[in-house]
Amino acid sequence: MTVSRVVNGHAGVRDANRERVMRSVRELGYRPNLAASSLAAAQHTCIALIYTNPSSSYLRELLVGALRGSARAAAQLVIATWDGLDEKASRKAAQQLSNSVAGVILPPPLCESAAIVSEFSQAGVAVVSIASGHFSDTLSCVRIDDHCASRDVVSHLIECGHKRIGYITGDSNQTASAHRWQGYRHALAEAGIAYDDKLVQPGYFTYRSGLDAAERLLALRNPPSAIFASNDDMASAVVSVAHRRGLDVPRDLSVVGFDDTSAATMVWPELTTVHQPVAAMADAAIDILLREIRRGSSTRVIVNRVLPHQLVRRSSVSSGPGFKGKAKNGKSSE
């Protein structure tokens, strides 16, 4: 007799032995991983992508990559949305989900909750994070260099002649937001431009928060000539506020976003933005996750994969008041 035969309900086990094993299982708080059992029996892998990001355009890119990666590997993909769950509720949801999947992909902020990651790990569920702002030596991840990407944006605006550059942050609970803010400050310091905290307004990766932040920035006595928002949804909101105030984008105000989601090309003028390869990141995360599941916890390998970003120049940036020559693309405006 083995414990697994009892836990998995196999026949041929004496009632007394079954009761003794189950009593020990209850005392230890053991929860069988049903996905692991099915994987051993039928080579069937069920994995989950858990989502909390408020941006629908970002979600679309995540789904495209995750579906592509899971289809290529013939794995079953479960999409779980945990909108509005606090940490206690998320831990409970993690306990329930652990019984049906062999691995999970966690975007921020879930991947930055030690309690949630621990809940999955203790249940024997493989975990890979995506788009986290930092590398952990205990958790595989796929990401970009957020600091460098943000610095590239601000350096580009400075090259175009802008010195008063407004910045709308991302959610302060996510480390990627901190790295983007640091990249903003880094570029200003490199150019010898003093940091002005009035030009930095909080955002939460939502269109609504972008509207509020843009109103505050443009109401300043000396408003910025350019605004960089931490995602495309908030940048789109900046364009909307500018139009409502009678400002021409980009002649009166340059605007830059981040992510290069569909939102960047659904606004007029189309946004200059950072291309974060969200779909490719999700695809890569699926590949890393499945490799980890097949290796098993005894031969775990931590992977830190950094994918390249790209500044995509469109129509929302033009020369600022300090412009003294041609921009890198040879034009005085984009």
Residue 324 near residue 161 (C-beta atoms within 8 A): yes
Residue 254 near residue 226 (C-beta atoms within 8 A): yes
- State the greatest distance between any 2 C-alpha atoms of the chain, in Å, as a whole number: 87
Q: Tell me what the mean pLDDT of segment 163-184 comes to.
A: 95
Same domain, 237 and 269: yes
- The DSSP annotation for 232-264 comes to HHHHHHHHHHHHHTT--TTTT-EEEEEE--GGG
3-state secondary structure of 168: strand
State which of 236, 256, 276 marks the end of a domain.
276
295, two tokens: 């290796």
Same domain, 131 and 57: yes
Number of domains in the chain: 3
Same domain, 38 and 52: yes
Q: Tell me what the mean pLDDT of segment 175-189 comes to.
A: 97
- Can you give the pLDDT at residue 184? 98
Residue 328 lies in a domain: no
Same domain, 200 and 112: no
Q: Residues 36-88: pLDDT tens digits?
A: 444 444 355 899 998 886 677 888 888 899 999 999 998 999 888 876 667 77
Same domain, 152 and 271: yes
DSSP assignment letter at 29: T
Q: Residues 216-225: pLDDT tens digits?
A: 999 999 999 9
Residue 334 lies in a domain: no
- Can you give the pLDDT at residue 138? 84
Residue 93 lies in a domain: yes
pLDDT band at 20 (very low <50, low <70, confident <90, very high): low
Amino acid at 299: T
pLDDT band at 97 (very low <50, low <70, confident <90, very high): confident
Same domain, 111 and 179: no
Same domain, 124 and 170: no
Residue 319 lies in a domain: no
Same domain, 270 and 150: yes
Q: Tell me what the mean pLDDT of segment 314-329 comes to.
A: 73
Residues 90 and 82: their CA atoms lie apart, in Å, by 7
State which of 257, 276, 295 marks the end of a domain.
276
116, two tokens: 């949630």
Helices (H), the chain: 3-7, 15-28, 34-42, 56-72, 87-98, 114-122, 146-159, 175-190, 207-218, 232-244, 278-295
Residue 320 lies in a domain: no
Same domain, 266 and 184: yes
Q: Is it the case that residue 8 has pLDDT exceeding 50?
A: no
Same domain, 108 and 219: no
Residue 329 lies in a domain: no
Same domain, 207 and 93: no
Closest by CA to 306, choosing from 180, 175, 130, is: 130
Our CA angle for 235, 237, 243, nearest 5°, is 110
| CATH number assigned to the domain comprising residue 245 | 3.40.50.2300
Same domain, 156 and 256: yes
- Structural domain harbouring 17: 1-30
Distances (CA, A) of 109 to 53, 73, 266: 8, 27, 26
Residue 193 lies in a domain: yes
What percentage of the chain exceeds 90 in pLDDT?
A: 56
- Can you give the pLDDT at residue 333? 40
Residue 315 lies in a domain: no
